[in-house]
Structure 1
Amino acid sequence: MTSSNGPAVSREEFDALFETVRTWGRWTPADRGAWNRVTPEQVRRAVSRVRSGAVVPLARPWDTRSAPDNPKPALHHMTDLGDVEAPEPSVHKDFLAADYHGKGMTHLDALCHAAYRGQLYGGRAAHEVIDAAGAHYGAVGALGPLVTTGVLLDLPAVLGTAWLEPGQAVHAEDIVAAERALGVAIGEGDAVLLRSGSPRRRAERGAWDPDAASAGLHVDAVPLLAERGIALLGGDGDNDVRPSPVDGVHSPVHALALAAIGVPLLDNLDLEALSAATAEAGRFAFLLVVAPLNVPGGTGSPVTPVAVL
């Protein structure tokens, strides 16, 4: 693994890759995409992986503080401080809101979140199915909860480092090497979670602008993940290495995963506790539960995924 985001990929090469991996027309309903791979049998296999019953939450805290990686902080304020009114009990209420598609909040991207060349997954024209009321195709409500096998690719653990440096790309050969080192294999219907260690780096070095530089997947890793038949892809960044190696495409992994293959994305996970728990257990595959909010027309949802070992 090199410390660069390369090699560079031309727009023509990227378009050819998009056509190679796309799965349009493969599933019904189409707007669940690769989520259709998670059958009841897949769920039963995932549940059978539970040994200790240890539950590990994978979400970052609700962050109301402005920072270079959180320019649109979430909102949280009290709306009722429990003033006593008959009859008892007094109650306490609060308000939550978030512009969650950024770098500061753990969230799920539905298939309508990203279009490439104006088309969503399956070839639907984005302007025809998305308006001010929301998305009428590929919305988060079409996904529902996901229960499947999660696979942690703990790259810093494999490399013997605390974290991957911002701008460091993860390639297909790095994924294969991580599988071998960790004794785990990515299977059909699995959720792949890539740990770069960015939350640990932030805690020790301070916040930086992840739009300018962040560790993540190079596009040359996507065909391998597509071949394995994954149902979900996530990471402790937003999955894309930055700067983007593709000329004119700022989030190429988003374009390939969401618009070409139909794989929803988990962005901005906190995988530090899971890294410690899987290392202690000596197992890097586990039961994963992801339950997005049921938002009609939503392009995604804040989530708190849970791993059960």
Structure 2
Amino acid sequence: MTAPNNPRWTRRPEGSTWGDFGPDDQLGRLNLLTPAKVREGVAEVVEGRSFGLSLPLDFPGGQKLNTRRKPPVLQPTEVRGMPFMNLALGQFDARYTDVVCDDQVTLTLQYSTQWDSFAHVGAWFDADGDGEPEKVYYNGYRAHEHVLGPGDLKLASCPCGADGGSYALALGIETFAALPIQGRGVMVDLHAHVGNARELIGYERLMAILQADRVVIEPGDLLVVHTGFADVVLSMNRDPDMAVLDQSCAVLDGRDERLLQWITDSGIAAICTDNYAVEAFPARKADTTPSAALPLHEHCLFKLGVPLGELWWLHDLAAWLRAHGRSRFLLTAPPLRLPGAVGSPVTPVATV
């Protein structure tokens, strides 16, 4: 498909939403979170009860689940070379009686409960139509031009400081905070049907579960998928056993083309799950090569502009909704408003 007047691409991926929300759009299907859609979420609030949907941010623990990502490290700030923890201000000025603590954190942004931005996963794709693929992200934003890494940051227009770091000039996670993300959440409780068994969930299985539980999903809804994976992670008390986790709980089958088409056709604004990566990783063997290692990520983040939330804590909410014969609720889930980041911790709140 072509759009010759777009500033970054002359052709877009088949079935994508590039350009549908404007040539410079960075929100994708979050644009569907209109005031009317937020009111639909608010209308689901009957009890006035809220559920926190975040794991403790030092879970899963260690680096076994993802060797690149490290648990948070807390440290005190300093004043005059002294740690600002239980610090009596009176030692600087006898007039003061205050005792003060002030700390800082080194945090891998996608270590625990998180949002993926559209700058998290892109693809090699011939957006110029010249026969040569480029590294591009949602809506044609470019690697090394809009999403910067070491070697790119010397650009004078980058507000990120010294070279050697990273910064998303476009598609950063802060766009999801400025909106912010709030609307009607819809729970799909895979765990109630699968338990802790490992099962790849494709289109047919998902449709059967939706029908059995009378779950109706409409355009602009925030899809929330409970698998029970986070429960298993919590039970391991910050020492994840990968032999167990790799065989635990339902995962979406990113290789199922009918499932990907349903995500397109459903009009959902985001997918949030309690597992690692939303989809099976590694994915099933592809029919053709080369292909995406994370096909659902490519479909959602790169093509459609559908954010992905991972490692959410859904046990208590799922149990309450099932006990009350409900699947819908108000979901409020803005990420950190951290300019230039490609992912973020999130403390989602579901209100019923």
Question: Does TM-score exceed 0.5, indicating one fold?
Answer: yes
Larger Rg: 2
Q: Which residue of 2 aligns with 1:76?
A: 74
- Which of 122, 127, 130 aligns to 2:147? It is 130
Secondary structure at 2:123's aligned position in 1? coil
**Offset from partner CA, 1:36-75 (integer Å, 9 cap, x none):** 1111111111101101111111111011741522642222
Question: 2 CA distance for matches of 1:130 and 1:47?
Answer: 35
Number of positions where the alignment pairs a residue of Structure 1 with one of Structure 2: 286
Identity %: 28
Q: Does 1:90 align with 2:99?
A: yes
Could you tell me how far 1:303 is from its partner in structure 2? 0.5
What does 1:203-222 align with in structure 2 at a 5 Å threshold? 203-204=234-235, 207-209=240-242, 215-219=250-254, 220=256, 221-222=259-260
Q: 1:116 to 1:246 in 2, by over 3 A?
A: farther
Structure 2 counterpart of 1:202: 233
Which one-letter code corresponds to 2:42 in the other structure?
V
Q: Give the aligned partner of residue 148 of structure 1.
A: 183
In 2, are the aligned partners of 1:164 and 1:198 still within 8 Å (CA)? Answer: no
Give the superposed CA RMSD.
2.2
Task: Quote the Cα distance in structure 1 between the aligned partners of 2:213 and 2:191.
Answer: 12
Q: Distance in 1 between matches of 2:105 and 2:212?
A: 42
Where in structure 2 are there 5+ consecutive unaligned residues?
Answer: 1-11, 78-83, 91-95, 125-134, 150-159, 161-166
Q: TM-score, normalization: structure 2?
A: 0.75
User: Does the CA contact (< 8 Å) of 1:233 and 1:266 recur in 2?
Assistant: yes
Q: TM-score, normalised by structure 1?
A: 0.85
Q: Residue in 1 aligned with 2:9?
A: none
State how far apart, in whole Å, the 2-side matches of 1:253 and 1:213 are.
20
**Cα separation, 2, equivalents of 1:26 and 1:185:** 25
Q: Note the 1:1-309 alignment, pairs <5 A.
A: 19-28=13-22, 29-63=24-58, 65-66=61-62, 68-69=64-65, 71=67, 72-79=70-77, 80-86=84-90, 87-101=96-110, 104-117=111-124, 118-132=135-149, 133=160, 134-144=167-177, 145-157=180-192, 159=193, 161-165=194-198, 168-204=199-235, 207-209=240-242, 215-219=250-254, 220=256, 221-237=259-275, 238-247=277-286, 248-309=291-352
User: How far apart in 1 are the matches of 2:66 and 2:118?
Assistant: 23
Distance in structure 2 (CA, Å) of the matches to 1:70 and 1:128: 28
| Larger relative helix fraction | 1
The structure with higher relative contact order (CA 8 Å, sep 6+) is 1
SS in 2 for 1:266: strand
Q: CA deviation at 1:96?
A: 1.8
The 8 Å contact of residues 183 and 221 in structure 2, kept in 1 or not, is answered as: yes
Name the amino acid aligned to 2:293: H
| Structure 1: runs of 5 or more not aligned | 1-17
Which stretch has the larger CA shift, 63-72 or 219-228? 63-72
Q: Which aligned runs of 4 or more in structure 1 are off by greater than 6 angstroms?
A: none
Paired with 1:149 and 1:203, the residues of 2 have a C-alpha distance of 27
Other structure's SS at 1:24 match? coil
The answer as to whether partners of 1:164 and 1:197 remain within 8 angstroms in 2 is no
- C-alpha contact 1:212 1:242 (8 A) present in aligned 2: no
Q: Specify whether residues 212 and 279 from structure 1 end up closer, same or farther in structure 2 by C-alpha distance, changes over 3 A only.
A: closer
What are the Cα deviations for residues 202-243 of structure 1, in whole angstroms up to 9, with x where unaligned? 345772339966642112222112111011111112211122
- 1:284 deviates by 1.0
